[in-house]
Chain A
Amino acid sequence: MNRLSLFCAMLRKDLRLFWPFGALISGLLLLRQFPDVIAQLGVVAALMQIAIQLGVVLLMLVVCYEDAVVSLQHDWLTRPISGVTVLMAKVSFVVLFILVPSIIGALANTLYEGGSLAESLVRGYSQGASGALLLTIAIVMAFASVTTGIRQGIIVFLAGIAVLAIATLLFSLAGGEGESAGATGSNWVQTLPLILLLLAATLLVLWVQYGRRHTRTARIIVAAAVVIGGAYTAFMSWPRVYAVQAMLSPDPASAASAQVELASGCFPVRSLDSAGSRAVLERFSDEQRRLASADAMLFSTQLVRTGVPAGHRVHIGRVSIVYRNPRGEALTLHPGGGPALWTTVDQGLLAASHSWLLSNADYARLAATEGIQTQIQYWLNLLEPRSEARFVADGRRQYYSGIGYCSATHDAALKRVDVDCYKAGFLPAQLMANLEGAPEIDGRLNSYPDYTPKLLNFWGGRRYSMQLPVSSAGTPRIRITAYAAKAHFERQFIVPGVLGGAVSACPIPQA
């Protein structure tokens, strides 16, 4: 009996057992790929999303537990069928009922939205079989292979959540919060190794369990992956994340071509009750405002790009302020470690401002320190234009090399152009849309950049949406620029005093 017929027998058995559940999940997954339809469901949509996620996990678990590996009693253990064949059958079932509907759904929705067959196929595989879904499948199957059944699975899962919550709490109590690379574009340094670690661990666990049935080894691998992953997360503070990012600069020497300066003079200061403060203040989190107290002040700093190569942009990944005494020792403020910051989405061109929130008590303490200095550190990224596309905002969708499938629609009533692009694999760091002929500063960026090295960014796809305001009545022409990271570098500025100059020269303005 060859392996194929054994595989078919096992798959046929699972289909017989689980096709109704599988069909239900498939239908929901298919539907999920139609955001327009989902949006019409209102509140039910959110519940449906949760139900789909739980349903997907549950389907995989019941299919795997049907022929559990951690078992002394399951029928397959003494049948002429290898663990690898069982695994192949389970994977095929999951592909059939989870992956294929997702791919078909994404494909059908693209066709429904007017995309070409080519784009539909690209979006079908890159969106339907996204890295997140593939990783989820691998993790759930590995999880099922080291647990005995649904009950144990739920207990282990809840225990895992509890351990994670405790670890997070301990980590934050130890002062580890605020280190996330978040929207800097470099967060891949934190996440990608974790993803690769998880993927390697899950594949190893599946091989050990289905190939060798060595549960203890498999569980040790799981525990080791969790410990290594946790240690890596704790270890990768922002400076380390950035150090890795900088090490991978494609052209580190080009950083010299970008010149930036801190705007000179005292930092502009406002009290919280001053006009215009309210809007800025709302950008801070409740926690930040609570820490700064009611008598806090707002001040802002500005970085000015004085020399950037033509067409290039300097994007600020992160900025921090540290106050130091004449001995160079950092002065600790509230638990956050420095004044609270609200970052702007920066165009990467002329200048960028940052608003800071500082309590009066902290200010008083700092101002009283003889010879205090303010150290402002910028972590920067030099981006160069790599590809460009120019087209009319007539709604037609086309493929542009290095940018992907793009279209722009002019909405005369709302006086704007909606730009929509989709790129699968080897994604650019950022896209910018602009009206042809308009100054670069008027361009609109897709949300946050992503500096994942090209070779590691081959799977999946990303949708880029940008809105451009237009004043003219005619159909405008659009220019899309795809940027790639060229260099990652740091700049540090040290100014005397607390607010951009000696305390006597830059005091808090009187109300």
Chain B
Amino acid sequence: MIIETENLTKKFRRHDAVEGVNLSVPEGATCALVGANGAGKTTTMRMLVDILAPDRGTARVLGIDSRQLKPQDRLRIGYLTENQTLPERLSVGQYLEYLRALYPNWDHALEKRLRAQFELPTSRPLGKLSHGMRMKAMLIGALSFRPKLLILDEPLSGLDPLVRDEVMAGILDQAGETTILISSHELTEIEGCTSHVAFMVRGRLMFHEPIDTLNARFREVSVTLGQAPVIKGLPATWLNPQVDGLLLRFVDSAFAGDATLQEQARALFGPLQHFATTPLSLREISKALMRATREEN
């Protein structure tokens, strides 16, 4: 495992920012860390790169306890966050020159290619770049040494669709040879490159699994019943049930096939007039989970 956390916990005063997180990310995976604002994604990532120290538990990154990460270990870890503080008065060129000197494994050709691809004005100070340009500069700084692990905290936040695509193209370039842990609310954009998904709610990790498994177990279900249904006593895996006359709609989070689900529905409501299931995108799954969590509260 490239990332492995055990009971990772962090409190800020009395607030449990992250609590008992056990997360494993295998080598080569692109893991999307998903959750609502304040779910603990950023705090988890900061603990992985030793910006924050956990109160309890451990995080192992590239097989090394994150608290013991040495400068040479950081040659293999790229980290990017939307609110990173950069040397604002350095120009893009000077910033990259500074970074180049820090990494013996810096890939000049890749840097050059990304600079051309992102069309960055190299002489402009970082502080005078637009948000999108700034993210691109940071991305070059995180990708050009070909890290073994790339941790990206909201890299697409606040970017226009065009820049988002460009940034994603840059990230996708690395997928495969680099293990990526990415948190983002732009799930449509990252779905294409995601191999694993971890979902956090209020500091806790609800699940983490391969995206295929996730896609397989989530379905949007619409059922037309013979009579108006009573939605009490529904299986806990049926999320966000909504009734509109004879129509019942919900998201099944433990989908095991149409036949099994129909059987379940019949057992609960009697004969079904109509039954349909639709696969969900990562964005829709995420929305369903977030809504279900909010309703639980």
A residues contacting B by CB (< 8 A) are: 1, 5-6, 8-9, 12-13, 16-17, 66, 68, 71-75, 77-82, 85
Give Cα A79 to B46, complex, Å.
Answer: 13
B226 at the interface (CB under 8 A from A): no
Give Cα A143 to B141, complex, Å.
Answer: 30
Residues of B within 8 A of A81 (CB): 71, 74, 102
The residues in B between 59 and 79 inclusive whose CB is less than 8 angstroms from any CB of A are: 70-75, 77, 79
Residues of B within 8 A of A13 (CB): 87, 90, 94, 98
- Known contacts A17-B89, A73-B81: does B103 contact A1 (CB below 8 Å)? yes
Chain B count of residues within 8 A CB distance of the other chain = 28
Report whether B86 and A75 are in contact in the complex, using a CB–CB cutoff of 8 Å: yes
Give Cα A44 to B161, complex, Å.
Answer: 57
Residues of B within 8 A of A66 (CB): 87
Report whether A16 and B94 are in contact in the complex, using a CB–CB cutoff of 8 Å: yes
Residues of A within 8 A of B98 (CB): 9, 12-13
**Most chain A C-beta atoms within 10 Å of own C-beta, residue among B73, B75, B98, B99:** B98
- A255 CB to closest chain B CB (Å) equals 58
B37 at the interface (CB under 8 A from A): no
- A263 CB to closest chain B CB (Å) equals 70
Report whether B49 and A79 are in contact in the complex, using a CB–CB cutoff of 8 Å: no
Report whether A6 and B102 are in contact in the complex, using a CB–CB cutoff of 8 Å: yes
- B136 CB to closest chain A CB (Å) equals 15
Give Cα A77 to B84, complex, Å.
Answer: 10
Give the nearest-CB partner of A77 in chain B. B51
Residues of A within 8 A of B85 (CB): 68, 71, 73-75
Report whether B102 and A73 are in contact in the complex, using a CB–CB cutoff of 8 Å: no
- B96 CB to closest chain A CB (Å) equals 12
Report whether A78 and B77 are in contact in the complex, using a CB–CB cutoff of 8 Å: yes
Q: Is the interface of A mostly helix, strand, loop or mixed?
A: helix
- B125 CB to closest chain A CB (Å) equals 10
Known: A1-B75, A79-B99. 9 other contacts (CB 8 A): A8-B101, A13-B87, A17-B87, A73-B81, A75-B85, A75-B86, A75-B87, A75-B141, A81-B71
Report whether B102 and A75 are in contact in the complex, using a CB–CB cutoff of 8 Å: no
B residues contacting A by CB (< 8 A) are: 46, 49, 51-52, 70-75, 77, 79, 81, 83-87, 89-90, 94, 98-99, 101-104, 141
Report whether A80 and B52 are in contact in the complex, using a CB–CB cutoff of 8 Å: no
Give the nearest-CB partner of B91 in chain A. A16
- B265 CB to closest chain A CB (Å) equals 49
Report whether B79 and A80 are in contact in the complex, using a CB–CB cutoff of 8 Å: no
Give Cα A295 to B83, complex, Å.
Answer: 72
Give Cα A293 to B99, complex, Å.
Answer: 72
Report whether A78 and B51 are in contact in the complex, using a CB–CB cutoff of 8 Å: yes
Give Cα A1 to B75, complex, Å.
Answer: 10
Give the nearest-CB partner of B99 in chain A. A79
Report whether B79 and A78 are in contact in the complex, using a CB–CB cutoff of 8 Å: yes
5 contacts between A and B (CB under 8 A): A6-B101, A12-B98, A77-B49, A79-B74, A85-B71
Report whether A82 and B84 are in contact in the complex, using a CB–CB cutoff of 8 Å: no
Report whether B87 and A73 are in contact in the complex, using a CB–CB cutoff of 8 Å: no
Report whether B101 and A5 are in contact in the complex, using a CB–CB cutoff of 8 Å: yes
Give Cα A66 to B90, complex, Å.
Answer: 12
Give the nearest-CB partner of B46 in chain A. A72
- Known contacts A6-B71, A16-B94, A17-B90: does B102 contact A80 (CB below 8 Å)? yes
- Known contacts A71-B85, A74-B85: does B103 contact A80 (CB below 8 Å)? yes
- B233 CB to closest chain A CB (Å) equals 46
Give the nearest-CB partner of A79 in chain B. B102
Report whether B83 and A80 are in contact in the complex, using a CB–CB cutoff of 8 Å: no
Residues of A within 8 A of B77 (CB): 78
Residues of B within 8 A of A72 (CB): 46, 51-52
Give the nearest-CB partner of B103 in chain A. A80
Give Cα A430 to B100, complex, Å.
Answer: 58
Residues of A within 8 A of B52 (CB): 72
